[in-house]
Amino acid sequence: MIKAIIIDDERKSGENLKALIEKYCKHLKVIATADSVESGIEAIANEKPQLVFLDIELNNGTGFDILSSLDSTDFEVIFTTAFEQYALKAIKFAAVDYLLKPIDVEELTAAVFKAEERLNHREANKNFEVLMQNLKSASSNHKIALPTTQGLTFVPVSHILRCEADGSYTWFYFKDGRKLIVSKKIKEYEELLSAYGFYRVHHSHLVNMEEIEKYVRGDGGYVVMTDGTMVDVSKRKREHFLAALDKA
C-alpha cells in the first residue's frame, strides 16, 4: 500500500478526493489530511507519506510554500487545483502531475499510476529538485534544471541556442557548441521557454529568437541560427512566426 495524505483547505473537496481514492485507487491508503500550510508541513513531517495530493491555493498561502519549507523529499506530489494559471509550466516540466478540479476519475487513476512508477524508480527527490529549481529560477537568475541520467544540469536560459525533438527525448544545443539530451518531450520545454523568447518554428524545433541570424523565404522557409544551423519553419507556423520575429 502507498501511504498518501491530502492537503486541501476546502473540506468538501478533500472529502470528495478521499472518496475517489478509496473507490478507484485500492493500492493507496489516505493516512492523514491537512487544510493549511502549517498543518500540511506537520502532517508530512509526522506521517512521512509516499504521495501527497497538494492543493495549490490555500487560505494562508500556497502548496508551493509547503514545498519551499522542505530541505528535501522522498515523496511524490500530485497537485490539485481549480485554477490553471498556477505555474503549470514549471509543474509539467518537473514531471510531477496535477489534476484540475472537479477531479476526473480517469485522470486521477492515470496520475496515481505515474506517481507509483516514479516511486518505484526512486525519482521523487530528483523531481522535487527540478521543480523547486525552476520555480525559483523563473523569478531570479533565469536558469533551468535539466534532468539527465547523471542527475541535474543547471543551465542559464540565455546559453541555449535551440532544442530539437527526438521522440520522447529532447536535444539541447548550446552557444558554445555543447549539446545535451534530456528525457522529456519538446512540448514541455516549449511551455517553459516561451516566456524567455523561444519559439517553436516546427514540430521538431524550438529556437531562441535572439539567436536567429536570418530568415530565408520558401514554402515555410527556414531560419539560419548564429552557429550556421538551418532550421525549417513549418508552413502553418510561418505567418505567426514572422509576426513574432518582428516583435523580437
Measure Cα distances from 109 to 39, 49, 65, 75, 220 in Å. 26, 18, 26, 18, 41
Q: Identify the weakest region by mean pLDDT among 28-32, 49-53, 162-166, 219-223.
A: 219-223
Summary mean pLDDT of the chain: 85
Look at residue 223 and tell me whether its pLDDT is greater than 90.
Answer: yes
Asked whether the predicted pLDDT for residue 161 surpasses 50, the reply is yes
Q: What are the C-alpha distances in Å from 170 to residues 15, 25, 144, 188?
A: 40, 33, 14, 10
CA atoms of 121 and 97, how far apart (whole Å): 16
Whether residue 34 has pLDDT greater than 90: yes
Cα–Cα distance measured from residue 75 to residue 218, given in angstroms and rounded to the nearest whole number: 51
Q: pTM surpassing 0.75?
A: no
pLDDT for 141 equals 53
Which phi and psi (to 5°) does residue 154 adopt?
A: -95, 125
At residue 91, what are phi and psi to the nearest 5 degrees?
Answer: -65, -50
Which pLDDT does position 93 carry in this prediction?
A: 43
pLDDT at 46 exceeding the cut of 90: yes
Distance, in Å, from the CA atom of 217 to the CA atom of 207, rounded to the nearest integer, reads 17
What's the pLDDT tens digit per position in 5-25? 999 999 999 999 999 999 999
Please write the tens of the pLDDT for every residue from 126-155. Answer: 566 666 666 555 544 577 888 776 667 888
At 61-102, the pLDDT tens digits run 988 888 888 877 778 889 888 876 655 544 554 546 788 889
